[in-house]
Amino acid sequence: MKAIFEQRLAKLEEMRKRGIDPYPRSFEQTHRSGGIADDFDDLSTAETPVSVAGRLMSKRPHGKTAFGHLRDVEGDIQIYLRLDELGEEKFGFLDLIDVGDFIGVKGTVFKTRTGEITVKASDLVMLSKSLRPLPEKWHGLKDKETRYRRRYVDLFFNQPVREVFLKRTAAIAAMRRLLDGKGFVEVETPVLQPIYGGGSAEPFVTHHEALDMKLYLRIADELYLKRLLVGGIEKVYEISKDFRNEGMDRTHSPEFTQLELYQAYADYHDMMDIFEEIMESVALEVCGSTRITYQGKQLDLKRPWRRISVKEAMKRYAGVDLDTVEDDRLREVSAEITDADWAHMPRGAMIDEILGHHVEPKLTEPTILYDYPLEISPLAKVSREDDRFAERFEPFVLGIELGNAFSELNDPVQQRRRLEQQLKDEGKREEIDLDFVRALEYGMPPAGGLGVGVDRVVMLVTDSHSIRDVVLFPPMRPESDLDEEIDGI
């Protein structure tokens, strides 16, 4: 509230009048709360001096004494302050300290009569004055939008939220460790691209003033990573931010993190194996087991996953036999799903629509869906089983797609023809990436490629309902009244 904000501003000014710096440059922190608890016997017996720092979570004055709790990265610890230990000036300084302020305390440790480990202060230092009060102790931040927007408060108040992001870091580290152990080389490719490619999506567009040219935020890393295969790096990967100027829902964000990897002399069967290893490694690292619970469902991410072809899945879950069904029937089924103009849509696009509506939601157990229609897989080799399909797979858990992989097309003549056909089918006038085609003309070895949605994998292993729960600062509409808003929540 405004009154509290102004009261704290007044205390800030009073500190400065007393010659107290409310925002000093540093503080020597010798111990944290968890370490003090672990080493209490040694610290208390030797009366070892400790120096702790953190945010003040409570303050309980009792005449010439006061208790409080400091919170640091490891937890909370009680502090005990006495007038005769601190002196008049330091003890009187307590009146200017509020819950939410960062303070430093030096002293020794003991246990109170109730058995609580406590630091008895011999010195007290202001480290950062908080002008806004923290959320109410027992209620905290409940509104989802406010929690996403003010993640800095959400992280501090909600230990489970902090745990999600620590687990996210652990998951990505597990991916790196696995790939590094297999001899993959981690690289960085351009985020700003003159021609976007590697997927079918709407890009974000920007303009480079010095070069006076249009640039795009990448929608995928694929075409640049394949150039590295041409250049002789046989195993390569990148963990990066990609951008798609499209809708948002619980599994989609315009800015997302993706792992892409490519391996020379491999195919999509090899990528299936690597994907399963990645998922198993991440589950073991984050959850300690391949058995996890997601939104109340018990799952096991252990290898091998169930594998089913698109043809078989369409017959089993959608009642559509792709060997016999006519295009007119596919249009009818697609029209029942959406009111798009299906009259001139390619067969593959209709199959993809039916997959998304009738098949994917039924892929509950960890499943690899493979051999997609060739028309919607322009970067993949033709299936060796049926030339209407491509050697491509997507893995699913509880209907959530976790990735995309191919036996990579390395025929430059076919690749150019496919990319041109893709633009025609999508009704776009953009250029194809002729430099990528030129790279293929120098020769790219046969290869398997895999893209993994890192955010979705983290959702799964942290039991998070929405992608926004695993992104530190998800995209939000701007706050129009931020200048005037000082309600202190």
pLDDT for position 134 = 85
Residue 394: which of 477, 322, 456, 461 has the closest Cα? Answer: 456
Q: pLDDT by residue (tens digit) across 141-150?
A: 567 888 899 8
Q: Can you tell me the distance from the alpha carbon of 478 to that of 470, in angstroms, rounded to the nearest whole number?
A: 20
Q: Can you tell me the distance from the alpha carbon of 77 to that of 120, in angstroms, rounded to the nearest whole number?
A: 11
Contact yes or no for 71/55 (Cβ under 8 A)? yes
- Residue in the block written with tokens 């509506």: 357
Is pLDDT above 80 for 429? no
pLDDT for position 422 = 83
Is pLDDT above 80 for 427? no
pLDDT for position 424 = 83
| Distances in whole angstroms, Cα of residue 8 to Cα of each of 69, 76, 80 | 20, 24, 23
Q: pLDDT by residue (tens digit) across 68-120?
A: 999 999 999 999 999 999 999 999 999 999 999 999 999 999 999 999 999 99
Residue 52: which of 63, 68, 65 has the closest Cα? Answer: 68
Strand partners, 321: none
Is pLDDT above 70 for 140? no
Q: Which of 6-15, 130-139, 168-177 has the lowest mean pLDDT?
A: 130-139
Q: Which residues contact residue 149 at a Cβ distance below 8 angstroms, ignoring those fewer than 6 apart?
A: 476, 479
Provide DSSP, 297-363: EEEE-PSSPEEEEHHHHHHHHH---TTT--HHHHHHHHHHH--S--TT--HHHHHHHHIIIIIGGG-
Q: Which of 4-18, 25-39, 426-440, 466-480 has the lowest mean pLDDT?
A: 426-440
Q: Which residues contact residue 487 at a Cβ distance below 8 angstroms, ignoring those fewer than 6 apart?
A: 1, 2
Residue 124: which of 40, 198, 52 has the closest Cα? Answer: 52
pLDDT for position 482 = 61
- Provide the mean pLDDT of the chain: 94
pLDDT level of residue 489 (50, 70, 90 thresholds): very low
Residue of higher predicted confidence among 146 and 124: 124
pLDDT for position 138 = 38
Provide DSSP, 78-105: EEEEEHHHHHHHHHHGGGG--TT-EEEE
Is pLDDT above 80 for 483? no
Q: Can you tell me the distance from the alpha carbon of 444 to that of 227, in angstroms, rounded to the nearest whole number?
A: 8
Q: Can you tell me the distance from the alpha carbon of 412 to that of 443, in angstroms, rounded to the nearest whole number?
A: 8
CB atoms within 10 A of CB 449: 27
Longest dimension (CA), the chain: 91
Is pLDDT above 70 for 137? no
Q: Can you tell me the distance from the alpha carbon of 164 to that of 12, in angstroms, rounded to the nearest whole number?
A: 35
Contact yes or no for 252/246 (Cβ under 8 A)? yes
Q: pLDDT by residue (tens digit) across 222-281?
A: 999 999 999 999 999 999 999 999 999 999 999 999 999 999 999 999 999 999 999 999
Q: Which domains does the chain have, with CATH numbers?
A: 2-128 (2.40.50.140), 156-305+366-469 (3.30.930.10)
Residue 178: which of 167, 186, 187, 168 has the closest Cα? Answer: 186
Is pLDDT above 50 for 66? yes
For residue 71, which amino acid is it? R
Contact yes or no for 284/472 (Cβ under 8 A)? no
- Residue in the block written with tokens 């970067």: 379
Is pLDDT above 60 for 487? no
Q: Can you tell me the distance from the alpha carbon of 466 to that of 482, in angstroms, rounded to the nearest whole number?
A: 26
Ramachandran angles phi, psi of 51, nearest 5°? -135, 110
Is pLDDT above 90 for 317? yes
Q: Which of 233-242, 244-253, 293-302, 421-430 has the lowest mean pLDDT?
A: 421-430
Structure tokens at 133: 């009060």
Ramachandran angles phi, psi of 16, nearest 5°? -65, -35
Chain-centre distance for alpha carbon 367: 22
Q: Can you tell me the distance from the alpha carbon of 136 to that of 143, in angstroms, rounded to the nearest whole number?
A: 13
Q: pLDDT by residue (tens digit) across 45-58?
A: 999 999 999 999 99
pLDDT for position 308 = 98
Q: Can you tell me the distance from the alpha carbon of 164 to that of 468, in angstroms, rounded to the nearest whole number?
A: 11
